[in-house]
Structure 1
């Protein structure tokens, strides 16, 4: 009896690789999905790359708002590149296995970049608050040094805790099947395969969600609450419409990112649904990076004008 228990415990910890099931439940659509995700990935790279290029070369866009937007687009490229290339390889080769180390690396980069994006969205909201509510102090407070420090802070704030969280997750014992019902290595499907009592790790996951998700979101809400009060006091309808136009683009991206992320992460292990989680994970890993450049460029006259100038220079 004692020997059997020891062997059972040993088998719980032996897990050299996972199998990402992805969209294996629809085998006839693998080719279509590969082409669709490839087109989406190319669009994400091109459009976000275009934003980075224009915000760096066009003098009219050398402002804090576009500096943050350029950095946000760079994060979007990195964020998508953590998951989409692997998805494309799996769809093309039909080999869905991923080693434990590769899975841990993917999860760690995914979490770090997700937190960076969350803080950058909060920084962009604060920038809009300063521009609309404190216009006289805007260029004094939001100088280049402060903007650089905000971007660096967004990148490095969550790294130590998230590396520790990743180590904590992969220190667990995984039992039964090694099949992850997901398109990449993410926290909810990994927790689903974990054995024993995972309440302690789930508690720390909720703490991280609070620190790196809820707090930035509350800061965004606070910024836009004050922006709304200020805008409603403006005497000119033109000023109101311009302010709402500038802020609405950011709010759409915030809604897509946080809405899908909350549904995916703030659910317990027992209520996890692979199919639902896969759908919502595509929202915050693919849809947001894809629509972000279109939302900001198509709704921004300055950006459209800068794009025209750049294309005319290329043509000449």
Structure 2
């Protein structure tokens, strides 16, 4: 290791200009975290319990929901702890670990979004061959490939950053250990680390974006050839939710990691980071449930089963009480 061991920890500044509103921020971020966590958990549960949702589309959606739960758990819990306890210190290796897992889950999301676009392409453009092309083995391999690719991708950028020397200011102007703010604190030559982060980010984003755009280009071309308006609407509705998520996530991440920015944009970086690290995962359960008739129907069925189960339980309890009373009489 080349980093200076005299700096054993960093200070995550978070939102110093909003310190007097830290309890309000705690409530806002806690609400966003709980909504994201339990909303995505609900999607996983519904997709697992309802037989009608045992399809490739909802298999990938369950993977995506699990990914969003992991993704938001990398940053928000520590932010909540710092808002409550006021301690913003984080050790060097904890910082590196947080950065790695944030990179890991973010990269996996790109690959998984591209996989979901490919799934919609096969379903709409090749409906007759779809059951064969996207069987259970293909689903597992594609999902596993997305997770494994995301896991391996951050190794080189993380290795280069961990070898930098940090022997001056240890204050990170961010609410989590992101690559850019951490590199800015280094006193050694950061050219290779900067280039590695940029190249890896560019390759991951642009390759997955190319695959996604190609899939949607072919999807749009196929939909336009459908003669009936109802058929076009039905075909488009199956991928509209995914397209909305892709647009939001890609837009914010490209702005953050690909587009050149001035060194004075730290506050803007934090705002954009909040958007793609907190708000976007929170929007996904809303987008995929409110715009998805199958999920809403499955949720209604589940609620009815729960309601009927409660009524039966109450009926049995009342019958037991009445029977016991009659016996005593």
- Asked if 1:25 is matched to 2:2, the reply is no
Q: Is the 8 A contact 2:13 2:172 kept in 1?
A: yes
Runs (5+) with no aligned partner, structure 1: 1-9
- Matches of 1:228 and 1:83, distance apart in 2: 37
What is the aligned counterpart of 1:127 among 108, 111, 119? Answer: 119
Q: 12-21 or 305-314: which moved more?
A: 12-21
Query: Whole-Å Cα distance in 2 between the matches of residues 177 and 240 of structure 1?
Result: 58
Aligned to 1:206: 198
SS at match of 1:15: coil
The count of corresponding residues between Structure 1 and Structure 2 is 307
Give the deviation of 1:12 after TM superposition: 5.7
Find the aligned partners of 2:12 and 2:72 in 1 and give their Cα distance.
Answer: 17
Aligned pair partner of 2:208 in 204, 216, 229: 216
Query: What residue in structure 1 maps to residue 312 of structure 2?
Result: none
Q: Distance in 2 between matches of 1:17 and 1:145?
A: 45
Name which of structure 1's ranges 248-257 and 155-164 shifts more when overlaid on structure 2.
155-164
Are 2:164 and 1:172 equivalent residues in the alignment?
yes
Equivalent residues in 2 for 1:1-316, closer than 5 Å: 14-267=6-259, 271=263, 273-316=265-308
Structure 1 ranges of 4+ moved more than 4 A: 10-13, 267-270
**1:104-130 deviation per Cα after TM superposition (whole angstroms, max 9, x unaligned):** 111111111111111000000000000
The residue matched to 1:14 in structure 2 has which SS? Answer: coil
Instruction: Judge which range, 187-196 or 63-72, deviates more.
Output: 187-196
TM-score where L is the length of structure 2: 0.90
Contact 2:202 2:258 in 1 (8 A): no
Structure 2 residue ranges without an equivalent (≥5): 309-329
Judge which range, 141-150 or 239-248, deviates more. 239-248
2:170–2:185 Cα contact (<8 Å) kept: yes
- Structure number with larger C-alpha Rg: 2
**1:129–1:226 contact (8 Å) kept in structure 2:** yes
Distance 1:192 1:258 in 2: 24
- How far did residue 133 of structure 1 move? 0.4
SS of structure 1 residue aligned to 2:128: coil
Aligned partners of 1:145 and 1:239: how far apart in 2? 30
TM-aligned CA deviation for residue 161 of structure 1: 3.7
Rounded Cα–Cα distance in structure 2 between residues aligned with 1:84 and 1:110: 11
Aligned counterparts of 1:40 and 1:242: Cα–Cα separation in 2: 32
Tell me how far 1:267 sits from its aligned partner.
4.7
Structure-1-length-normalised TM-score = 0.93
CA contact (8 A) 1:192 1:272 kept: no
